[in-house]
Amino acid sequence: MNQFIGLAILAVAISLSNAKSDVIQLTPEVFNDKVVNSDSVWLVEFFAPWCGHCKSLAPEWEKVATALKGVVKVGAVDADQHKSLGSQFGVRGFPTIKIFGLDKSNQKITKSSAYTIGFHSCRRIKCIQSWASLPLGPYSGRTAPAIVDKALEVAKKTVKDRLGGKSGGKSGGGGGSSGGKSGGSGGNGGGKDAVVTLTDSNFEELVYNSKEPWLVEFFAPWCGHCKNLAPEFAQAASELKGTFKLGALDATAHTIIASRFGIQGYPTLKYFPVGSGGQSDAQDYDGGRQASGIVSWCMDKAADLLPTPEVKEIVDDAVLKEACEESPLCIIAALPHILDTGADGRNTYIKMMTELADKYKQRHWGWVWTEAGKQQKLEDTLGFGGFGYPALAAVNARKKKLAVFKGSFSIEGLGEFMRAVAVGRGSTEPLRGDTLPTVDTVEPWDGKDGELPVEDDIDLSDFDMDDEEDSGKDEL
C-alpha cells in the first residue's frame, strides 16, 4: 500500500513538473499546425531520450523556454520516437537545434524551413556542425543565453521584415539571395561569408589538397535554376560551416576550370573529398537541391571521414557502459579462450568486428568483446552458451532487448546479421535480468598467444607401484 501511495505521489510530482514546463512537446500530428503554419518564430530541439548530451541540455533548454516566453516559442521533438520529423528536417544526431522562420509563402517550408544552430551526437563526433559563435562545448550556464541571443536575432529580423513589407525571413534568415551580379551562390546575401567564391586562379589553391571536403557549384549568371538554388546553397553553407566547404564558380567566366570538369549544364555540383588533387577525384553530387537535402548529403559524406570505432575489450564496467548506455546499440562478442585460437585467431575475429564497425560507423554503435568465461554474468544475461564460441549479440540497453547471432562467424554471416539489425528486422528477445550486469575488472589481453599452465614434475618413487596381483583391489 505504501509503495502504491509512493508511486502515486511520484506520478503527481512528475505531472506537476511537466505542467510547469515552458517547453512545448511536439509530434508529427501537431507539428504543421503548431510550427509550420504558425505566425511565430520557433526554436525546436530534436532529441533522443538515451542521448547524454540531450540530458545535459535539458535544464538549459528549460531556461531558454522561460526566457523567450511570449517572444519565441520553444519546443522539443523526440526524434527517436518520431523519426519522420527528424528525417524531414535532416536531423543526423542529437541534440539538433533548429530555428523555424516565418516564410509561410515558401512552399518548400516543410522541407527546408529550419536553420540548424547546433549539432551534437555521441562523443565520437564532437561538433560536426556549428552556427556562428554558438558554444558547442560542454553545456554550461552560458549555453542558454547564447541560444536565446540567436533566437532573438531571428525574431528581430522578422520584425524588421514585417516593417519593410516582407513576408518573413527566408528559413529564419538563413539563406539570403544570390545577388544581382553572379546569379549563383557566391554573391551577396546571407550566405556571402559561407559560400566561397572560386575562380580559375584560386580553385587549385583552395580545393586541391584541402583538409576539408568541398562541394562546388558551377553556375551561370543567367541560369534560373542557379538563382533558385542560391539561397538554399547559401543556407547549407552556413549550416555546414566548420565541417564542409561550399564554393561557387561562375562557369561562364572561369572556363578553364569549368572545361576541366566537363561542365555542360547549370547548375552542376561536384564533390571533392579531402586531399583531392585533380579531375579524377571529383564526384557527381546526387542529393537534393534544398538546404536540408544538401546538408543531409554532406553530413553523410562527413560521416564517411570519421575514424573507425574502436573494438574494445571489456576490462571493466566503464567500458561496457560507454559502449551500451551512450550508444543506440552495442555489439558484444564473447571470443574463444586464447588457448583455443592463439593470437592470430583472436586477431582475425577482432578484425572482422572492426571491418563491420567501420561499415556501420554512421550508426554510432558501441563495439566490445570479452574472452569466453571471463565475464560469466554478462554471458548469462545475453544468453550465450549452448552453441559455442565465438558468440555475439546486438543489445539495445535502453529498450532492454537483444538479438543473438547464431550464424557462421564470418564477414558474410555477420554482415547479414548487421543488415537485419540496422533496419530493425530479425527476432529479438528481452534482456535477461532486465539490465546489463556489473562486470568484473580484469587484466586486458596482452596480445600474445596463451601459455599452458606449468605442471610440477612428479617423482614416481613417492607412489606405491605394487603389482595389481598384490594390490588386493578389484577392477570395476
**Alpha helices by DSSP H, 240-304:** 255-260, 291-304
Burial category of 202 from C-beta neighbours within 10 Å (exposed 0-12, middle 13-18, buried 19 and up): middle
- Whose cell is 574463444? That residue is 336
Give me the tens of pLDDT residue by residue for the chain, a chain 476 residues long.
444 444 443 443 334 344 578 899 999 889 888 888 777 888 899 999 888 888 888 888 888 888 888 778 899 999 988 888 887 777 777 888 888 765 533 323 333 334 444 433 322 222 322 332 333 333 333 466 667 766 776 666 666 665 665 544 433 333 333 333 345 665 444 445 689 999 999 999 999 998 889 999 999 999 999 999 999 999 999 888 877 899 999 999 999 999 999 999 999 999 999 888 888 899 999 999 998 889 888 888 887 777 889 999 999 999 999 999 888 899 999 999 999 999 999 999 999 999 999 988 878 899 999 999 999 999 999 999 777 899 999 999 989 999 999 999 999 999 999 999 988 888 899 998 889 999 999 999 999 998 887 666 666 666 565 555 555 545 44
Q: What are phi and psi of 375, to 5 degrees?
A: -125, 70
122, 127, 223, 330: the catalytic one is 223
pLDDT tens digits for range 412-451: 999 999 999 988 888 899 998 889 999 999 999 999 998 8
Contact 97, 43 (CB under 8 A): yes
This prediction has a pTM of: 0.51
54, 122, 324, 330: the catalytic one is 54
Please say if 54 is a catalytic residue: yes
C-alpha cell at 316: 571493466
Query: Cα–Cα–Cα angle for 52, 57, 61, nearest 5°?
Result: 150
122, 127, 226, 298: the catalytic one is 226
Burial category of 457 from C-beta neighbours within 10 Å (exposed 0-12, middle 13-18, buried 19 and up): exposed
Please say if 51 is a catalytic residue: yes
Neighbours of 17 (CB within 10 A): 9
pLDDT tens digits for range 46-72: 999 888 888 888 888 888 888 888 778
Break the chain down into helix, strand, coil percent, rounded to 5.
40, 15, 45
429-430: strand order across its sheet: 312-313, 366-371, 330-335, 391-396, 401-405, 429-430
Please say if 122 is a catalytic residue: no
Domains annotated for the chain, with CATH where assigned, are 22-172 (3.40.30.10), 195-304 (3.40.30.10), 312-434 (3.40.30.10)
